[in-house]
């Protein structure tokens, strides 16, 4: 009996409920199923899983097989579709992981870089503030660090809002000068 006739006989026996026929069909086509799946997936574990799933599909849908086509053609289609579905699932999962990982790494790197820059900036500003007069340091602290409005600063210092604005402008200029001086000193130390 040729292979196709043997498959047809096994299928008819399976439809009649013969479990040994199903086992024999698996033994006859397991290597073929694995090979097809492996060529698509390039992963041994996934190919084995797809081959098993394909045999389950054959078992569940044995009544759908029409005897006009070859069993191997029908079975190849089942394995092929199952492998493609697995490949899509793997790709989506991998892309999700890669995207999440990249986003987390970029975020962590950006956070780390930004945190370092922020700490360095704060440290430099604090050092420059220490070199200013207490009035200038207070104005800058209230406006930038405590985020007080000019009106609130004026009320705290018992001066007019216009005077607070002028004093803040001058304090900012002195702070900028201090920062430039500090930067020049750092550049000189590097050379």
Query: Which residue ranges make up each domain of the chain?
Result: 3-96, 131-190
Over residues 20-34, the pLDDT tens digits come to 999 999 999 998 888
How far is 189 from 92, CA to CA, in rounded Å? Answer: 52
pLDDT at 24: 93
Over residues 115-153, the pLDDT tens digits come to 777 788 778 877 887 888 877 887 887 788 777 889 988
pLDDT at 173: 93
pTM of the model: 0.48
Domains 3-96 and 131-190 share a fold: no
For every residue of 118-134, DSSP letters joined together read HHHHHHHHHHHHHTS-H
131-190 maps to CATH 1.10.10.10: yes
Q: Helix, strand or coil for residue 191?
A: coil
Over residues 1-15, the pLDDT tens digits come to 678 889 889 989 988
CATH classification (class only), 3-96 = mainly alpha
Q: How many of the other CB atoms lie within 10 Å of CB of 114?
A: 10
What is the pLDDT averaged over residues 25-47? 88
């Amino acid at each position: 009996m040729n292979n196709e006739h043997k498959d047809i006989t096994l299928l008819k026996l399976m439809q009649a409920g013969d479990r040994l026929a199903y086992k024999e069909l698996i033994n006859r086509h397991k290597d073929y199923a694995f090979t097809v799946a492996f060529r698509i997936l390039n992963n041994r574990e996934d190919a084995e899983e797809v081959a098993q799933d394909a045999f389950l599909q054959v078992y569940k849908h044995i009544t759908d097989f029409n005897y006009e086509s070859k069993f191997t053609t029908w079975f190849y289609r089942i394995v092929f579709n199952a492998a493609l579905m697995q490949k899509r699932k793997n790709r989506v999962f991998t892309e999700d992981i890669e995207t999440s990982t990249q986003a987390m790494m970029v975020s962590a790197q950006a956070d780390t870089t930004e945190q370092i820059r922020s700490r360095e900036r704060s440290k430099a500003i604090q050092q420059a503030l220490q070199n200013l007069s207490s009035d200038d340091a207070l104005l800058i602290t209230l406006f930038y660090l405590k985020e007080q409005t000019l009106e609130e600063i004026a009320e705290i210092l018992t001066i007019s809002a216009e005077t607070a604005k002028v004093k803040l402008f001058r304090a900012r200029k002195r702070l900028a000068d201090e920062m430039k001086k500090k930067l020049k000193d750092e550049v000189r130390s590097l050379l």
